[in-house]
Amino acid sequence: MLTGLEQRGCNLKPRPEVEQGLSRLCGLRMTMDQWEVRANNCLQASPKPCLEEVERMIREGENISTGLPALEKLKDAVRKAKEWWSRAENLQKPENYPYLDTLEALVGKGRPLPIRLDPLAQLETQVAAARAWRERTARVFLKKNSHCNLLEVLSPRHDIGCEKKRKKRTEDGNYRHPIFLGLSAIQLSDPQEIVNAFKQAEQAELQTMKEVRVKNQNTLKKDGLMLECELCMDQFPPGSIPLPRLPSGKSKPTSLRDVKFLCPNCLRSRRPRLETILSLLVSLQKLTVRLPEGEALQCLTERAMAWQDRSRTVLARPDIAAALKKLSIQSKDEGNERI
């Protein structure tokens, strides 16, 4: 616009007032061009400028002209930076305890902005710590070439007796475990709601497993000797699945009927010791980020410890203790006879 105005002025007859006007136009154009260069440099600067510096640049540009091309870019960057900053400060409040994917999304939005965002480094540290915990936990639980992810392994099974289905993704493109699909955003922010959801999933898992066991027992295969899973009671031909490794010092079973094993569908993890899991939970408590895998591990640990308590109570009963003692004596006698 200024260039066209200058060109029209140059076509006028030379007069003092015309020359004076052309001089002012030229000076204004140069000022605008210089500001545009500085503004574009500001948008691409490394290290990034602070919010106050960019706002000063905007005020300077507005005093020159409201039609500057880079002015809207700077204003848009400041608006997004302030929105991001407000969101970050809200998530950092003590009463808030955001999920990892929420922080990851916020970090992903903050990194491309051309303005220095002071909370970004802290959020990146939180995200890195949470990811490291998840990776460590995955190494503890996941078997090599496992077809399950960590959350599936730690959570009650929902696919017992079903064919593998394609994992559904939510509107934001992330996979969400079926336990969480029925929960609203408000429920997801309530730890008690999460615990209740896991408890319901545990009951559903137990009920479904009972039904599958009955079904498999009623459809026993009669085509030769088969390996039977101790959990789901499904049967498999020898050679179709890998046999379990025997603990060191134990003799090999004399018959396939004596092989105790869990099928690949039931043995989905490395089944680490409880002491290792408790160490992971201690590390989890130090995080300022929520992970679905962390909540699943907490519920799983409580479930395992409750089972141990119930088992100890049952084994301490006089009739059970007497029966176990009798079985132990019989086992020793049979071993002596073989020798």
Tokens found for residue 118? 């002071």
Structural tokens at position 95: 């009463």
Percent of the residues in the chain that have a pLDDT greater than 70, as a whole number:
77
Provide the pLDDT for residue 95. Answer: 81
Q: By percentage, how much of the chain surpasses pLDDT 90? A: 47
pLDDT tens for each residue of 95-110: 888 899 999 999 999 9
Query: Cα(154)–Cα(141) distance, rounded to whole angstroms?
Result: 8
- Rounded to whole angstroms, the Cα distance separating 29 from 45 reads 24
116: which 2 tokens? 């220095």
What's the token pair of residue 93? Answer: 């409040």
Q: Is 103 within 8 Å of 123 (Cβ atoms)?
A: yes
pLDDT bucket at 268, cuts 50 / 70 / 90:
confident
287 touches 303 (CB < 8 A): no
Of 219, 234, 227, 292, give the one whose Cα is nearest residue 266. Answer: 234
Q: Are 205 and 190 in contact (CB under 8 A)?
A: no
Mean of pLDDT over the chain: 83
Type of residue numbered 333: D
Dihedral of CA atoms 170, 172, 177, 178 in degrees, nearest 10, equals -30
Q: pTM to 2 decimals? A: 0.79
Token pair listed for 8: 């029209």
The bridge status of strand 227-228 relative to strand 235-236 is antiparallel
Confidence check: pLDDT of 172 > 50:
no
Which of residues 239 and 162 earns the better pLDDT score?
Answer: 239
CB contact at 8 A, 57 and 77:
no
Structure tokens at 141: 């639980």
- Specify the pLDDT at position 21: 60
pLDDT in tens, 37-48: 999 999 999 999
DSSP collapsed to 3 states, the chain = CHHHHHHHHHCCCCCHHHHHHHHHHHHHHHHHHHHHHHHHHHHCCCCCCCHHHHHHHHHHHHHHCCCCHHHHHHHHHHHHHHHHHHHHHHHCCCCCCCEHHHHHHHHHHHCCCCCCCHHHHHHHHHHHHHHHHHHHHHHHHECCCCCCCHHHHHCCCCCCCCCCCCCCECCCCCECCHHHHCCCHHHHCCHHHHHHHHHHHHHHHHHHHHHHHHHHHHCCCCCCCCEECCCCCCEECCCCCCCCCCCCCCCCCCCHHHCCCCCCCCCCECCCCHHHHHHHHHHHHCCCCECHHHHHHHHHHHHHHHHHHHHHHHHCCHHHHHHHHHHHHHHHHHHHHHC
pLDDT of residue 250: 54
